[in-house]
Amino acid sequence: MRVAVLGAGAWGTAISIALAARHPVALWARDARQARAIAATRVNERYLRDFKVPMEVAVEHDLGRALDGAELVIVATTVGGLRETLRMLRASGSRAPVIGLCKGFEAASGKLPHEVAGEEIPDRVYAALSGPSFAQEVARGLPAAVTLACADGAFAHRTARELHSRTLRIYSSDDVAGVGVAGAVKNVMAIATGICDGLGLGLNARAALITRGLAEITRLGLAFGGRPETFMGLAGAGDLILTCTGDLSRNRRVGLALARGDTLEQILQALGHVAEGVPTAREVDRIARERGVDMPVTREVTRVLFEGLTAADAVQDLLAREPKSERG
């Protein structure tokens, strides 16, 4: 299967490396200088400098060449860049099905990636690939398991089998809404867990926070029509655990820095990469309040990020909440 990967960030590069062993891959970079540099050195110096991009991956700046003959398109942009990329894809005339790798809610519209796709490419199959997977480990060829979700369950099942390998195990689902919510909100919970660890609150507190975070994800996911079992699976609990505990997690690092007292501007400048949990926190908080979904951890993270609340005070607010049934 000929695959075009649009977006030469860490994930786009990693998935290109992972798929190149079995499929012809074209990696499209918006920046012409980046495309030339990767093609010449076979290294994505900015985003994934420790890994060689195989010669089997054609690196392109011209979108038409990248899409030429593509039977599958993987969009590896951020949520903020998804809509524009889909518009470019639509204008290109390509009719290939699309898989999106981004996780989050679009700013202002509050839409999940599959909802954005429904507006921009309504006549095209769109699926979401999500689950516990750091780009660096996928590029290294270490084992990972993820979920491919699409409203067209037959497409998800068939394509998962096509892309599945010994080290990148892909499971199929038709719960695209549940997978989308889980992938978005887990980044907010990773910021919260980073704050918890940065304040030295201990492993007991971390476990409690992750568990209550999963409850928040599930409540919002059900409000979007997701299914309970999705949140217990790879795209839910699996991705949440990895992002909250893994040292490679950018969102966790944001939380650790907030606990040190760094400003958000300082944190994002030092990070050098997008931390999707930052803009997502504000969107999730707004959506939860509009829909009447109780999400106290998300509320406190949003207050720390955007409303001047200190990390220590946010923790005190959570600890001061009245006890309630665990089902609530």
Q: Is the Cβ–Cβ distance between 312 and 258 less than 8 Å? A: no
Spatial separation of the C-alpha atoms in residues 11 and 31, rounded to whole Å: 16
Closest CA to 259 of 299, 186, 200: 200
**52 in catalytic set:** no
User: SS3 for 75?
Assistant: strand
Spatial separation of the C-alpha atoms in residues 79 and 25, rounded to whole Å: 22
Burial of 317 (0-12, 13-18, 19+ CB in 10 A): middle
Active-site option among 52, 111, 186, 324 = 186
Longest CA span, the chain: 60
The number of beta carbons lying within 10 Å of the beta carbon of residue 92 is 17
Q: Is the Cβ–Cβ distance between 4 and 28 less than 8 Å? A: yes
Concatenated DSSP letters for 103-161? -S--TTT---HHHHHHHH-TTS-EEEEESS--HHHHHHT--EEEEEEESSHHHHHHHHH
The residue behind tokens 């918890």 is 196
Supply the DSSP symbol for 62.
-
3-state helix, strand, coil in the chain (%, to 5): 55, 15, 30
Closest CA to 284 of 210, 183, 209, 195: 183
Catalytic residues: 186
